[in-house]
Amino acid sequence: MIVKIGTRGSRLSLIQTDSVIDMLRRIGSDLEFQKVIMKTAGDVFREKSLYSFGAKGIFEREINLAVIEGRVDFAVHSLKDLPSEEYDELGLAAIPKRESPNDVLISNSRKTFTELKANNIVGTSSVRRMMQIKLHRPDLRVVRLRGNVETRLRKAANGEFDAVVLAEAGVKRLGLQDKVSERLPLNMFVPAPGQGALVAVARKDDDKMLRLLSKIDDRESRNECVVERIVASKLSGGCQVPMGIIAHQTGNSLSAYSALYSIDGRKKIACNIEGKSDNASDVAERLANKLLEFGASGIIDEWRKTKVNW
């Protein structure tokens, strides 16, 4: 039997899909796997601002439609690219062991974040990272930077940028960890929901695929990502809202920390919640409610009413 897997065609996407295939082979699957490469809106409009699309899921919609229509059996995504509002027909069949959720700084001078000089240019594709940089180093110039990881590193190396901020997981999967100047702390650079995790998406009525993929699911990583995605959904925290959230499970304990940033960069709402790992949804609900109690709705509304060219 040939199992068809939908994926984007970038080097990182193919590496991530191959890693899922390797996991399935290690558990003893004798199936034959075939990658089906597809382009998404995010690939076609590579230099366009992410926020000008006015829609979620620009890196996964076309691929997930292929799963729904049965053209592929499942798809592999970076979980942070998957909107928190899930498809009725699809399920998160497997969230393998999560890679580092941290962001990293890569500077052409090997300087750390605090060592960068005033007016140095830092590139990022994320409004969340942009606000975090401005909050902690208002003297730096933050410039929008799109393209794959290799493109961003090349622009730093040739002097277009003094530094770039990227997700550590992607850098490590590409074998480029030697380029990293500094791993940025989670309490300052709170990551996007699901950052560092991969996900295999399959149809909810495809019992065979669901059983197969469940064998590579990591319960702790799933609990952490479920909390992060529920909070993002409750707060309607799409890519236009600079919200960071990180959950961490230790034994039976599950903690979660989230932060939102005002549009003027002067205000940060943050909250931490702890609970039991067997009730991830309760941890998420309490964290979302606490953020709303602290005034998150006002910040979210402010961002939604403002046209952001990022």
Catalytic residues: 81
Helix (H, G, I), strand (E, B) or coil at 50: helix
The whole-angstrom separation of Cα 131 and Cα 126 is 9
> Closest Cα partner for 268 from 244, 240, 237, 233?
244
Helix (H, G, I), strand (E, B) or coil at 79: helix
Q: List CB contacts of 38: < 8 A, sequence separation 6 or more.
A: 6, 7, 8, 9, 62, 63, 66
The whole-angstrom separation of Cα 86 and Cα 101 is 21
Q: Which amino acid is at 20?
A: V
Burial 46-55 (b: 16+ CB within 10 A, else e): eeeebbeeee
> Closest Cα partner for 85 from 296, 233, 302?
233
- C-alpha 127 chain-centroid distance: 13
With the C-alpha atoms ordered 12, 198, 50, 115, is the resulting torsion angle positive or negative? negative
Q: Which amino acid is at 15?
A: I
Instruction: Sheet containing 243-250: give its strands across.
Output: 243-250, 253-261, 268-276
Q: List CB contacts of 25: < 8 A, sequence separation 6 or more.
A: none
Q: Which amino acid is at 268?
A: K
Q: List CB contacts of 211: < 8 A, sequence separation 6 or more.
A: none
Return the structure tokens found at 277: 């790992």
